[in-house]
Amino acid sequence: MSDTVTILAEIREDVGKGASRRLRREGKIPAIVYGGDKDPAAITLEHDLVLHQSENEAFYASVLEIKLGKKEQQVVLRDMHRHPYKPIIMHIDFMRVSADELIRMSVPIHFTGEEESPAGRATGVIIQHQVTDVEISALPKNLPEFLTVDLSEMEDGDIVMLSSIILPEGVAIPALDVSEENDTAVASTVHISEDQGTGVAAAAEAEAGVDELGEVEDGEEAPEGEEGEEGEEGEEGGDKEEASSKEDAS
Protein backbone atom coordinates (compact mmCIF):
# COMPACT_ATOMS: atom_id res chain seq x y z
CA MET A 1 0.00 0.00 0.00
CA SER A 2 1.19 3.51 -0.82
CA ASP A 3 1.30 6.50 1.48
CA THR A 4 -2.10 7.72 2.62
CA VAL A 5 -3.59 10.53 0.53
CA THR A 6 -4.37 13.50 2.77
CA ILE A 7 -7.16 15.88 1.74
CA LEU A 8 -7.34 19.31 3.36
CA ALA A 9 -10.89 20.40 4.15
CA GLU A 10 -12.95 23.04 5.92
CA ILE A 11 -16.36 22.78 7.56
CA ARG A 12 -19.07 24.68 5.67
CA GLU A 13 -22.22 26.03 7.26
CA ASP A 14 -23.82 27.43 4.12
CA VAL A 15 -25.44 24.58 2.18
CA GLY A 16 -27.80 24.35 -0.77
CA LYS A 17 -27.54 24.74 -4.54
CA GLY A 18 -26.85 28.46 -4.40
CA ALA A 19 -24.07 28.01 -1.87
CA SER A 20 -22.55 25.18 -3.92
CA ARG A 21 -22.48 27.35 -7.04
CA ARG A 22 -20.73 30.13 -5.14
CA LEU A 23 -18.12 27.68 -3.84
CA ARG A 24 -17.39 26.39 -7.32
CA ARG A 25 -16.89 29.92 -8.61
CA GLU A 26 -14.32 30.37 -5.83
CA GLY A 27 -12.42 27.25 -6.88
CA LYS A 28 -13.87 25.04 -4.13
CA ILE A 29 -15.61 21.66 -4.12
CA PRO A 30 -18.68 21.09 -1.95
CA ALA A 31 -18.47 17.66 -0.33
CA ILE A 32 -20.03 15.58 2.42
CA VAL A 33 -18.71 13.01 4.88
CA TYR A 34 -21.13 10.44 6.30
CA GLY A 35 -21.21 7.08 8.03
CA GLY A 36 -19.95 5.71 11.33
CA ASP A 37 -21.57 6.86 14.54
CA LYS A 38 -21.45 10.55 13.61
CA ASP A 39 -23.82 12.87 11.78
CA PRO A 40 -23.08 13.77 8.17
CA ALA A 41 -20.73 16.74 7.86
CA ALA A 42 -20.71 19.27 4.99
CA ILE A 43 -17.16 20.23 4.03
CA THR A 44 -15.29 22.28 1.42
CA LEU A 45 -12.21 21.16 -0.53
CA GLU A 46 -9.66 22.97 -2.70
CA HIS A 47 -10.63 22.07 -6.26
CA ASP A 48 -7.26 22.15 -8.03
CA LEU A 49 -5.54 20.16 -5.30
CA VAL A 50 -8.20 17.45 -5.24
CA LEU A 51 -8.37 17.35 -9.04
CA HIS A 52 -4.65 16.62 -9.08
CA GLN A 53 -5.01 13.95 -6.38
CA SER A 54 -7.87 12.33 -8.28
CA GLU A 55 -5.55 11.59 -11.20
CA ASN A 56 -3.97 8.88 -9.05
CA GLU A 57 -5.67 5.47 -9.20
CA ALA A 58 -5.24 5.08 -5.44
CA PHE A 59 -7.65 7.96 -4.87
CA TYR A 60 -10.54 5.69 -5.84
CA ALA A 61 -9.51 2.42 -4.21
CA SER A 62 -7.76 3.18 -0.94
CA VAL A 63 -8.35 4.73 2.45
CA LEU A 64 -8.05 8.52 2.33
CA GLU A 65 -7.45 10.92 5.17
CA ILE A 66 -9.50 14.09 5.51
CA LYS A 67 -7.83 16.73 7.64
CA LEU A 68 -10.04 19.34 9.31
CA GLY A 69 -7.70 21.61 11.21
CA LYS A 70 -6.05 19.35 13.79
CA LYS A 71 -8.64 16.60 13.39
CA GLU A 72 -8.22 13.71 11.00
CA GLN A 73 -10.78 11.24 9.68
CA GLN A 74 -10.22 8.14 7.56
CA VAL A 75 -12.66 7.81 4.67
CA VAL A 76 -13.17 6.13 1.31
CA LEU A 77 -14.55 7.73 -1.82
CA ARG A 78 -18.16 6.76 -2.44
CA ASP A 79 -19.27 9.09 -5.22
CA MET A 80 -17.86 11.85 -7.39
CA HIS A 81 -19.84 14.10 -9.72
CA ARG A 82 -17.93 15.71 -12.58
CA HIS A 83 -18.93 18.39 -15.05
CA PRO A 84 -20.22 16.81 -18.30
CA TYR A 85 -17.37 18.18 -20.42
CA LYS A 86 -15.18 20.50 -18.33
CA PRO A 87 -12.35 19.26 -16.05
CA ILE A 88 -14.34 20.28 -12.98
CA ILE A 89 -15.34 18.19 -9.97
CA MET A 90 -18.84 19.22 -8.93
CA HIS A 91 -19.36 17.28 -5.69
CA ILE A 92 -17.82 14.42 -3.69
CA ASP A 93 -19.26 11.96 -1.17
CA PHE A 94 -16.95 10.32 1.37
CA MET A 95 -17.79 7.53 3.80
CA ARG A 96 -16.09 7.24 7.19
CA VAL A 97 -14.31 3.99 7.93
CA SER A 98 -13.44 2.29 11.19
CA ALA A 99 -10.24 0.35 11.76
CA ASP A 100 -12.15 -2.71 13.01
CA GLU A 101 -14.98 -2.78 10.45
CA LEU A 102 -14.88 -4.48 7.07
CA ILE A 103 -15.45 -2.25 4.08
CA ARG A 104 -16.50 -3.25 0.57
CA MET A 105 -15.34 -1.38 -2.49
CA SER A 106 -14.26 -1.97 -6.07
CA VAL A 107 -10.57 -2.08 -6.88
CA PRO A 108 -8.93 -2.27 -10.34
CA ILE A 109 -7.27 -5.37 -11.72
CA HIS A 110 -3.74 -5.06 -13.12
CA PHE A 111 -2.71 -7.67 -15.70
CA THR A 112 0.98 -8.58 -15.94
CA GLY A 113 3.10 -10.92 -18.06
CA GLU A 114 0.73 -10.81 -21.02
CA GLU A 115 3.34 -10.17 -23.73
CA GLU A 116 5.66 -12.89 -22.38
CA SER A 117 2.96 -15.56 -22.20
CA PRO A 118 2.66 -18.38 -24.78
CA ALA A 119 -0.74 -16.99 -25.79
CA GLY A 120 0.62 -13.47 -26.08
CA ARG A 121 3.42 -14.65 -28.40
CA ALA A 122 1.18 -16.86 -30.53
CA THR A 123 0.22 -15.66 -34.01
CA GLY A 124 -3.45 -14.94 -34.49
CA VAL A 125 -4.22 -15.03 -30.76
CA ILE A 126 -5.06 -12.12 -28.49
CA ILE A 127 -5.77 -12.05 -24.77
CA GLN A 128 -8.99 -10.33 -23.80
CA HIS A 129 -9.53 -8.74 -20.38
CA GLN A 130 -13.10 -9.66 -19.49
CA VAL A 131 -13.07 -7.89 -16.09
CA THR A 132 -11.15 -4.75 -15.17
CA ASP A 133 -12.27 -4.25 -11.56
CA VAL A 134 -13.80 -6.30 -8.77
CA GLU A 135 -15.52 -5.64 -5.46
CA ILE A 136 -13.56 -6.84 -2.44
CA SER A 137 -14.05 -6.88 1.31
CA ALA A 138 -11.28 -6.06 3.80
CA LEU A 139 -10.36 -4.12 6.89
CA PRO A 140 -8.98 -0.66 6.11
CA LYS A 141 -5.44 -1.75 6.96
CA ASN A 142 -5.63 -4.63 4.47
CA LEU A 143 -7.31 -2.76 1.64
CA PRO A 144 -5.19 -3.07 -1.55
CA GLU A 145 -5.10 -0.39 -4.22
CA PHE A 146 -5.43 -3.07 -6.91
CA LEU A 147 -5.31 -6.82 -7.52
CA THR A 148 -2.69 -8.38 -9.78
CA VAL A 149 -3.38 -11.15 -12.28
CA ASP A 150 -0.28 -12.85 -13.71
CA LEU A 151 -0.83 -13.98 -17.30
CA SER A 152 2.77 -15.04 -18.01
CA GLU A 153 1.83 -18.75 -18.13
CA MET A 154 -1.38 -18.29 -20.12
CA GLU A 155 -1.66 -20.48 -23.22
CA ASP A 156 -4.04 -20.44 -26.16
CA GLY A 157 -7.43 -21.68 -24.96
CA ASP A 158 -6.85 -20.89 -21.29
CA ILE A 159 -9.41 -19.01 -19.22
CA VAL A 160 -8.47 -17.18 -16.03
CA MET A 161 -11.34 -17.22 -13.56
CA LEU A 162 -12.17 -14.78 -10.78
CA SER A 163 -11.52 -17.47 -8.18
CA SER A 164 -7.96 -17.92 -9.44
CA ILE A 165 -6.90 -14.41 -8.43
CA ILE A 166 -4.35 -14.58 -5.62
CA LEU A 167 -5.73 -12.33 -2.88
CA PRO A 168 -3.64 -10.51 -0.29
CA GLU A 169 -4.03 -11.56 3.32
CA GLY A 170 -7.29 -10.38 4.86
CA VAL A 171 -8.96 -9.71 1.49
CA ALA A 172 -12.01 -11.55 0.14
CA ILE A 173 -14.28 -11.36 -2.90
CA PRO A 174 -17.83 -11.39 -1.50
CA ALA A 175 -19.43 -12.44 -4.78
CA LEU A 176 -17.63 -15.79 -4.66
CA ASP A 177 -19.09 -16.51 -1.22
CA VAL A 178 -22.62 -15.97 -2.50
CA SER A 179 -22.62 -18.40 -5.44
CA GLU A 180 -20.27 -20.39 -7.63
CA GLU A 181 -22.09 -18.89 -10.60
CA ASN A 182 -20.40 -15.59 -9.78
CA ASP A 183 -17.02 -17.10 -10.65
CA THR A 184 -16.74 -15.34 -13.98
CA ALA A 185 -13.92 -15.23 -16.52
CA VAL A 186 -11.33 -12.53 -15.94
CA ALA A 187 -9.21 -13.13 -19.04
CA SER A 188 -9.47 -15.42 -22.05
CA THR A 189 -7.95 -15.97 -25.49
CA VAL A 190 -9.54 -15.21 -28.86
CA HIS A 191 -8.46 -16.21 -32.37
CA ILE A 192 -8.35 -13.47 -35.02
CA SER A 193 -7.57 -13.38 -38.74
CA GLU A 194 -4.53 -11.51 -40.02
CA ASP A 195 -6.45 -8.37 -40.93
CA GLN A 196 -8.47 -8.13 -37.73
CA GLY A 197 -7.41 -5.78 -34.98
CA THR A 198 -5.81 -3.24 -37.29
CA GLY A 199 -8.80 -2.47 -39.48
CA VAL A 200 -6.52 -2.05 -42.54
CA ALA A 201 -8.38 -4.43 -44.83
CA ALA A 202 -11.78 -3.15 -43.77
CA ALA A 203 -10.73 0.46 -44.34
CA ALA A 204 -9.29 -0.34 -47.78
CA GLU A 205 -12.45 -2.17 -48.76
CA ALA A 206 -14.64 0.70 -47.58
CA GLU A 207 -12.51 3.23 -49.47
CA ALA A 208 -12.70 1.16 -52.65
CA GLY A 209 -16.48 1.05 -52.34
CA VAL A 210 -16.68 4.83 -51.98
CA ASP A 211 -14.44 5.39 -55.01
CA GLU A 212 -16.52 3.01 -57.08
CA LEU A 213 -19.87 4.57 -56.17
CA GLY A 214 -19.17 8.22 -55.48
CA GLU A 215 -16.14 9.39 -57.48
CA VAL A 216 -16.74 12.28 -59.94
CA GLU A 217 -14.58 12.13 -63.04
CA ASP A 218 -12.63 15.23 -64.12
CA GLY A 219 -14.66 17.47 -66.38
CA GLU A 220 -18.03 16.13 -65.22
CA GLU A 221 -20.54 18.40 -63.60
CA ALA A 222 -21.06 17.90 -59.92
CA PRO A 223 -24.32 16.14 -59.04
CA GLU A 224 -27.16 18.38 -58.03
CA GLY A 225 -26.88 19.48 -54.39
CA GLU A 226 -23.07 19.87 -54.31
CA GLU A 227 -22.83 23.40 -55.74
CA GLY A 228 -22.70 25.09 -52.35
CA GLU A 229 -19.34 23.65 -51.32
CA GLU A 230 -17.41 26.71 -52.52
CA GLY A 231 -19.70 29.24 -50.80
CA GLU A 232 -19.28 30.94 -47.44
CA GLU A 233 -19.06 28.62 -44.44
CA GLY A 234 -22.24 29.92 -42.87
CA GLU A 235 -24.20 29.67 -46.12
CA GLU A 236 -22.90 26.16 -46.67
CA GLY A 237 -23.99 25.10 -43.20
CA GLY A 238 -27.42 26.65 -43.72
CA ASP A 239 -27.87 24.91 -47.07
CA LYS A 240 -26.92 21.58 -45.54
CA GLU A 241 -29.27 22.00 -42.61
CA GLU A 242 -32.12 23.00 -44.95
CA ALA A 243 -31.44 20.01 -47.20
CA SER A 244 -31.34 17.73 -44.15
CA SER A 245 -34.68 19.11 -42.92
CA LYS A 246 -36.28 18.51 -46.33
CA GLU A 247 -35.00 14.96 -46.43
CA ASP A 248 -36.32 14.28 -42.92
CA ALA A 249 -39.71 15.73 -43.87
CA SER A 250 -39.93 13.51 -46.93
Main-chain dihedrals φ then ψ at residue 5, nearest 5 degrees: -80, 125
**Rounded Cα distance, 176 and 182, in Å:** 6
Average pLDDT per block of 10 residues along the chain, 250 residues long: 82 88 94 91 96 94 92 94 95 94 94 95 94 95 94 95 95 94 95 60 50 45 40 42 44
Rg of the chain's alpha carbons, rounded to an integer?
Answer: 27
**175 and 137 Cβ atoms separated by less than 8 Å:** no
Q: How confident is the model at residue 196, as a pLDDT?
A: 54
CATH architecture type of domain 103-191: Beta Complex (2.170)
Q: How confident is the model at residue 230, as a pLDDT?
A: 38
- Which 8-state DSSP code applies to residue 43? E
One-letter amino acid for residue 115 of the chain: E
**Rounded Cα distance, 166 and 187, in Å:** 14
Q: How many residues does the chain have?
A: 250
Q: How confident is the model at residue 249, as a pLDDT?
A: 43
- Which 8-state DSSP code applies to residue 231? S
Q: How confident is the model at residue 197, as a pLDDT?
A: 52
**Rounded Cα distance, 126 and 194, in Å:** 12
User: Taking the model in full, what pTM does it have?
Assistant: 0.70
**Hey, is 126 helix, strand or coil?**
strand
Residue 80, Ramachandran bin (φ over 0: left; ψ between -120 and 50: alpha; else beta):
beta
| CATH homologous superfamily of 5-96 | Ribosomal Protein L25; Chain P (2.40.240.10)
Q: DSSP labels for 187-203?
A: EEEEE--TTTTT-HHHH
For the beta carbon of residue 209, count every other beta carbon within 10 angstroms: 10
Q: Where are the domains of the chain?
A: 5-96, 103-191
Task: Report the candidate in 32, 96, 89, 105 with the shortest Cα–Cα distance to residue 65.
Answer: 96
